Amino acid sequence: MRRLGLVRDVDLALHLPLRYEDETRIEPIAALREGEPAQVEGVVRGCRVDTRGRRQLLVHLRDETGQLLLRFVHFHPAQHKQMAEGQRLRVRGELRTGFHGPEMVHPTVRVVALGAPLPQALTPVYPATAQLPQAYLRKAVVSALGRAPLCELLPARLVPPALPSLRDALQVLHQPPPGVPLQSLAERSHPAWQRLKWEELLAQQLSQLQAQAERARLRAPALPLRADGVRSALQAALPFALTAAQQRVSGEIAADLARAQPMHRLLQGDVGSGKTVVAALAAATAIDAGWQCALMAPTEILAEQHFRKLVDWLQPLSITVAWLAGSRKGRLRTQMLAQVADGQARLVVGTHAVIEHDVAFARLGLAIVDEQHRFGVAQRLALRHKLQAQSLEPHLLMMSATPIPRTLAMTYFADLAVSTLDELPPGRTPVLTKVFADTRRSEVVARIAGAVAQGRQVYWVCPLVQESEHLDLQNVTATHAELAAALPQAAVGLLHGQLPAAEKAATMARFTQGQLQVLVATTVIEVGVDVPNASLMVIEHAERFGLAQLHQLRGRVGRGATASACVLLYGQPLSAAGRARLQAMAQTGDGFEIARRDLEIRGPGEFLGARQSGDALLRFADLQLDEALLQHARAIAPRLLAEHPDAARAHVQRWLAGRAEYLKA
């Protein structure tokens, strides 16, 4: 019970059935239909153990209309005794046609007296473990329902009309009366389900508002804009004009930074929308105010890409940019740590090495986390805790190229300010996406040869580094050898995560400088890599990748003026989810539409990487189907917190205390 999180009475009350069995009716044996579950009642006319072949218990059951064989492959002596000849049994199972006529295999069996009353409610089947029998769980739930404090905590005027009370809703869901339409229970559209889902969404919204209120009590350094500082010099020196979206978002961030309250903002934008320059302007604002900025990225390749861009922009303005990554060791690392500790390094760029215990900042005012969903909650907190001065927290800007659908933003990011770059810089060309079976691999190789002949560069992405006994996938080393042999006129490079850092950096530099025409890589090139001359992306076994990953990879091409293409090669057989992902990629290049479809296919748990990050997820509500309930909960949560704070706290305690799993996938 504890392993299932069933500790309190209210936990058991909220442990809802997976499905129901209808034991309220008895069917005549002659009326049974093959493949359909049913309940029959009859008298045993024979019971024996058959030892021919596999040992089995065979029971012949008869009612007024016919005879049925009950077959048990796994049984114990007590069952043999229980189903002795002359016993009256009530049996539930699925009918099938066996060698000796109609039979049920391993049905549920109860010994009953003639005229024993039938249950007046459907029989619930609960999520359980092998050591937790359904009968025990049912008794525990009925008992807990009687004891659990399920009084109405919320003012009646705030509850959506036509919904039952919480106690009545749970009573219906645990013990549905015979007249309840099973379909409404299965689809979770019954008013009882609606009440549960609304309560859960309200608890989630209230907890987000409470977190927001707690954060509002924290203090951060105020970083006001300066008219003549690094920021204005950087903007004047940029070789391009900011888009209207970049100007708008930069203004939102600057307004947050000027307050003495920690910024907690998510900057989201499609692949190539220009998040890095917005981050650079935010960093310059912190530097102008006399504070340091740290930028943390999930991979060394992405962190180095940021580092190179920021050095190009800021070094001419006499700003020292430090680089911290796992590959930087020895004297160079010691030198960088000293620059960070004494404040000489105004901007620090790196991987998770930025949050290691020996990294001490002099005055950290702003922390920027790129691809924030790749980091766990603890890692993001560790970066925020690098500022110890005067009980202040640094401002936090999180960036993501995986746009968050509106319903997710309303639910899981309700305590987060969201800025959206919804405009691509001029010069980005749309990428044509083609989906091919891997049987057409030779055609793709011929297309690569054509692109190379025109002076273009090509990515070929594979999902594995070495061969796997379990997955029949083309691996990156074999593909590199194959393409090098098939394209003797081209220089073909190899890039994957197991290469030494120096070798990875050298290979990437050669590709960026045009010395390599084809780069065979794993997903280490998924984010941040910017080579305008690369106009063709081939993704091997594309059906194995998630939609967000495919969209990120596709975003590595189309960065120059040349028409670009992305070829998705898939292996057979193709699953329904795999086909849906590939179709979505072929039909749209809009990151927000991709994100919406990704949420439909995977659900919020996978979409947010919540199993890794620890983000709270909903158990009962469905964001696709229950947006109206979410809107209602979102609207009344601030009122409830302001007008009835005790009721709000009790509601969150009922749903979340001691059972965080309720909001986890």
> What kind of architecture, by CATH, is found in domain 431-588?
3-Layer(aba) Sandwich (3.40)
DSSP class of 8: S
pLDDT tens profile 394-437: 898 988 877 676 666 666 666 678 888 888 777 677 889 999 99
Res 582: pLDDT: 93
Res 646: pLDDT: 93
DSSP class of 149: -
Residue 638 dihedral angles phi and psi, to the nearest 5°: -65, -40
Residue 547's pLDDT band, with cuts at 50, 70 and 90, is confident
Enumerate the domain spans of the chain: 1-16+125-179, 25-118, 180-216+620-663, 230-421, 431-588
Integer Cα distance of 253 and 246 in angstroms: 11
Query: Three-class SS of residue 41?
Result: strand
Query: Encoding tokens for residue 252?
Result: 């939102």
Pair 652, 210: CB distance under 8 Å: yes
Q: What is the mean pLDDT of the segment spanning 454-475?
A: 71
Pair 567, 538: CB distance under 8 Å: yes
Q: What is the mean pLDDT of the segment spanning 549-575?
A: 86
Q: Would you say residue 660 has pLDDT above 60?
A: no
Q: Tokens 């007296």 sit at which residue?
A: 113
Residue 308's pLDDT band, with cuts at 50, 70 and 90, is confident
Which of 107-111, 112-116, 215-219, 366-370 is least confident? 215-219
Calculate what percentage of the chain has a pLDDT beyond 70: 89
**Which residue blocks in 103-262 are alpha helix, DSSP H?**
134-147, 166-174, 182-186, 191-216, 230-237, 244-257
Q: Would you say residue 383 has pLDDT above 70?
A: no
Query: Three-class SS of residue 198?
Result: helix
Q: Would you say residue 332 has pLDDT above 90?
A: no
pLDDT tens profile 13-49: 999 998 888 888 899 999 999 888 899 999 999 999 9
More confident residue, 377 or 571: 571
Q: What is the CATH number of domain 25-118?
A: 2.40.50.140
Q: Would you say residue 293 has pLDDT above 60?
A: yes
Res 664: pLDDT: 29
Q: Would you say residue 573 has pLDDT above 60?
A: yes
Res 648: pLDDT: 92
Angle between helices 166-174 and 134-147 (to 10 degrees): 160
More confident residue, 553 or 247: 247
Q: What is the mean pLDDT of the segment spanning 600-622?
A: 58
Q: Tokens 């919480």 sit at which residue?
A: 166
Buried b (16+ CB within 10 A) or exposed e, 580-601: bbbebbeeebebeebbbbbbeb
State pTM to two decimals: 0.66
Res 214: pLDDT: 78
Q: Tokens 């030892």 sit at which residue?
A: 51
Res 386: pLDDT: 66
Residue 370's pLDDT band, with cuts at 50, 70 and 90, is confident
Q: Would you say residue 611 has pLDDT above 60?
A: no
Q: What is the mean pLDDT of the segment spanning 540-568?
A: 86
Which of 165-179, 322-336, 447-461, 593-607 is least confident? 593-607
Q: What is the mean pLDDT of the segment spanning 221-249?
A: 92
Tell how far CA 224 is from the center of its chain.
36
Which of 139-153, 382-396, 563-577, 612-626 is least confident? 612-626
Res 616: pLDDT: 45
Pair 37, 91: CB distance under 8 Å: no
- DSSP result, 488-542: TTS-EEEE-TTS-HHHHHHHHHHHHTTS-SEEEE-GGGSSS---TTEEEEEETTG
Separation in Å, CA 268 to CA 418, 493, 657: 7, 32, 32
Integer Cα distance of 337 and 363 in angstroms: 14
Integer Cα distance of 34 and 78 in angstroms: 29
- DSSP result, 445-484: HHHHHHHHHTT-EEEEE-SBSS--SS----BHHHHHHHHH
Res 622: pLDDT: 80
Task: Give the mean pLDDT of the chain.
Answer: 84
Query: Three-class SS of residue 444?
Result: helix
Q: What is the mean pLDDT of the segment spanning 270-290?
A: 91
Q: Would you say residue 255 has pLDDT above 90?
A: yes
Q: What angle do CA 48, 49, 51 make, to 5 degrees?
A: 140
67-72/56-62 β-pairing: antiparallel
108-111/88-94 β-pairing: antiparallel
Q: Would you say residue 358 has pLDDT above 70?
A: yes
Pair 585, 554: CB distance under 8 Å: yes
More confident residue, 468 or 110: 110
230-421 CATH, one of 3.50.50.60, 1.10.760.10, 3.40.50.970, 3.40.50.300: 3.40.50.300
Integer Cα distance of 14 and 196 in angstroms: 9
More confident residue, 376 or 319: 319
Q: Do domains 230-421 and 431-588 have the same CATH topology?
A: yes
Q: What is the mean pLDDT of the segment spanning 168-173?
A: 94
Query: Encoding tokens for residue 93?
Result: 């199972």
90's enclosing H/E stretch is: strand 88-94
321-324/123-125 β-pairing: unpaired
Res 574: pLDDT: 86
Q: Would you say residue 662 has pLDDT above 50?
A: no
More confident residue, 298 or 292: 292
Residue 586's pLDDT band, with cuts at 50, 70 and 90, is very high
Which of 57-71, 349-363, 594-608 is least confident? 594-608
Res 413: pLDDT: 64
